[in-house]
Every structure is written in C-alpha cells, then in structure tokens.
Amino acid sequence: MFTRIASALLVAGLLVTAAPAAHAQTTAAKKAAATKAAAKKAAASKAAAKAAAAKTAATKTTVKTTTVVTPPPAPLTEAQASAGVKEALNKGILKAVQFASEPDGFNLNDDIHIPTPPDLEIVKSTVGRLPGMTNLFGTLETQLNRAAEAAAPKAKDIFLNALANISITDALTLVTSGSTDAATQFLRKSTQSQLISAFHPDIEAAIDQVGAGRAYSTITNQYNKIPLMTPVNLSLADYTTQKAVDGLFILLAKEESKIRKNPAARTSDLLKQVFGGR
C-alpha cells in the first residue's frame, strides 16, 4: 500500500516538474518561428526593392537607347557656298552703304566717326585757344564727316560688281573660315583701291561744298603765321577718303559678323542653311 502511494506521489512530482519545461520549450519555439518569419519578410522586402531598382535602371536604359540623335548637317556644295556668301555680302553691302549715306551716318557713329586729322593736333594745341578756333575745329570735323556721307552711295555699285566676280572656290573658303569678317576682308582686297579712286573726287568736291576747305585754310593760315613753325601741308581729301573707305568696311564687317553669329540675322532659308551649322 505504501509503495503505491509513494509511486503516485513520484509521478505527480514528475508531472509538475515537466509542465514548466514543456511550456518553456513551446515559447522558445514560437519565438524562433517569429524570428524566422521576420527574416523571411525582410528578405522578401529587400528582393522587392532590388527588383524595383533593376526595373528603373532598365527603363532609363530604354529611354537612352530610344533617344533620337539629330544627324549632322550635310556638307555644303560649292554652289550653295557661293550663293550663301554672295547673299550675305549683298545684304551687308546694302545696309552698310545705306547707313553711311544717311545724315550723321559717319558723324554720330563712334565706330566710323572721322576725327580731326592727327597732323592738325599740334596746330589745335597751338592756336586752338585763339578766339573762335575751338568752334572752327569742331566745324571742320563735322564737315569731314559730311563729305564722307555724301560720297558713300558711290560704293554700292563698286561693291556689287566685285561681289559678282567671287569665284565658287573662294566662296567655299570664306564660308568655312573661322573669322567673322573673312568675306569683308576678301572684298576689301579686291575693291579698296577702286573705292579710293572713286571716292576721292567726290570727297574733294564735298569738302569744298560743305565748307571744310575754308575752315582748314583759316586754321592753317593762323598757324603758319607763327614764327619758326613748320608749315602744315595736309591733304584733307586724301585723309577723309581713306577714313570713309575704312568706315564702310567696318560697317560691312559688323553686318557679316551678325549673320555668322546671330541666327536671327539669317533672314532667308539659304542663309540658315549655309551659316546655320558653322
């Protein structure tokens, strides 16, 4: 009897001891399962992010691949180059001559205004303080510019005749030149002496007509009366003619530069084609 009771008590004790252990094992198993599930979830999120990044990269690659590339402009033919240069110069010539021929076209333009001849500077410093001389020098300078304005229209036909004789080979060279005034300088070499010859009689006549000759004589007569001074002997016509020719080429170069550098100045399809990609 005692033996049965003892056995029963022993079994009960073992059961009591085993219950907490079993509970602990169950809790640990749950925690392990939860940790494993969390790890799987994190791995799944990471894989999803990686897949999204790969998709974005693939999209960018596709966009780059499908970007349309504009082909470079076709090489100019010699005929196109010739026509383009002639149109550009024709446009520049008409504008330059028109501007220079207007009242104050030379006189009020700082780029081409004709100053008192340098040879008269010593005269100006010597007799410039005499009564009326300051105004006389100012009048002389204005009248030289008036003479240039009066002669300027004669340049138009000379320029246009030279323009017609530009060869196709020269035109192609001028179009592809990196200089913004290449065509103007080319035209200067072929027309400058002709312009000077054509301008000189007109400017000489204009100098007398506008009174510059009288002003010059008054100034130099006063100066030449001073003892020990070297007499002044300057050709106003020569000086003014060269300055007038220089001024026209300055204006023409500015017009050419606009066409080469400023798309808005290319007012025809031909100018856009010839100078647009250069």
Shared-domain flag, residues 110 and 205: yes
User: Which residues, 6 or more positions from 147, have their beta carbon under 8 angstroms from its beta carbon?
Assistant: 203, 206, 207, 209, 210, 212, 240, 244
Shared-domain flag, residues 143 and 54: no
Query: What pLDDT, on the 0 to 100 scale, is given for residue 22?
Result: 44
Integer Cα distance of 120 and 229 in angstroms:
13
Domain boundary among the residues 69, 87, 118 is at 69
Shared-domain flag, residues 147 and 46: no
Shared-domain flag, residues 254 and 146: yes
Shared-domain flag, residues 192 and 260: yes
Shared-domain flag, residues 204 and 86: yes
211 domain-assigned: yes
User: Which residues, 6 or more positions from 27, have their beta carbon under 8 angstroms from its beta carbon?
Assistant: none
Shared-domain flag, residues 118 and 184: yes
- For residues 140 and 219, is the Cβ–Cβ distance under 8 A? yes
Shared-domain flag, residues 120 and 139: yes
Shared-domain flag, residues 84 and 55: no
CA-nearest of 268, 273, 272 to 77 is 273
Query: What pLDDT, on the 0 to 100 scale, is given for residue 53?
Result: 63
Integer Cα distance of 145 and 244 in angstroms:
8
200 domain-assigned: yes
Domain boundary among the residues 47, 69, 91 is at 69
147 domain-assigned: yes
Shared-domain flag, residues 34 and 148: no
Query: What pLDDT, on the 0 to 100 scale, is given for residue 11?
Result: 41
Query: What pLDDT, on the 0 to 100 scale, is given for residue 184?
Result: 93
Query: What pLDDT, on the 0 to 100 scale, is given for residue 35?
Result: 65
179 domain-assigned: yes
Query: What pLDDT, on the 0 to 100 scale, is given for residue 95?
Result: 93
Residue 48: domain span:
30-69
Query: What pLDDT, on the 0 to 100 scale, is given for residue 213?
Result: 83
18 domain-assigned: no
Number of domains in the chain: 2
Query: What pLDDT, on the 0 to 100 scale, is given for residue 208?
Result: 86
133 domain-assigned: yes
Query: What pLDDT, on the 0 to 100 scale, is given for residue 243?
Result: 96
Domain boundary among the residues 14, 49, 69 is at 69
Task: Give the torsion sign (CA, 22, 23, 24, 27).
Answer: positive
Integer Cα distance of 278 and 274 in angstroms:
8
Shared-domain flag, residues 218 and 178: yes
Q: State the pTM of this model.
A: 0.68
Residue type, 62: T
258 domain-assigned: yes
Q: Mean pLDDT in each 10-residue stretch from start to end of the chain (278 residues)? A: 46 44 52 63 65 60 50 66 83 94 96 90 73 78 92 93 87 83 92 94 88 83 80 86 96 90 73 68
Shared-domain flag, residues 35 and 146: no
10 domain-assigned: no
- For residues 164 and 87, is the Cβ–Cβ distance under 8 A? no
Integer Cα distance of 57 and 65 in angstroms:
12
Longest Cα–Cα distance in the chain: 168
